[in-house]
Amino acid sequence: MYLKIYKNGGHVLIAACDKEVLGKKLKHGNSVVEISKAFYGGEYVSEEELKKSLYEATTINLFGEKTIMCAIKCGFIDPDSMIMIDYVPHAQIFRI
């Protein structure tokens, strides 16, 4: 999985995706969602490294089956709250 961490003051945004979807463009109705290397293509990490980062994040943006399953196993996502975009699982988490 690829992981990129953005920090701004006390805010930590995590962008993570499966290796297989990095760089893909997904169609969603009349829109195109790009899982860009610039935004998601940080460091290639293990599930344990992703898990640690999830706990530190205030905002999380995830794409891909493995990445989403990691977040589900950690209790961050209810499986019913993710969406599919062009057959790729996607979820966003915001801590307030």
Burial class (CB in 10 A: 0-12, 13-18, 19+), 70: buried
CA proximity to 77, closest of 94, 38, 88, 86: 94
Global confidence as pTM: 0.92
Main-chain phi, psi angles of 32, to 5 degrees: -120, 130
Task: Tell me the pLDDT of the chain (96 aa) as tens digits.
Answer: 999 999 999 999 999 999 999 999 999 889 999 999 999 999 999 999 999 999 999 999 999 999 999 999 999 999 999 999 999 999 999 987
Residue 11 has a pLDDT of 95
Domain total in the chain: 1
Q: What confidence score (pLDDT) does residue 96 get?
A: 78
> What domain range is 37 assigned to?
2-94
Nearest to 77 by CA among 87, 65, 69, 86: 69
User: CATH code at 17?
Assistant: 3.30.1860.10
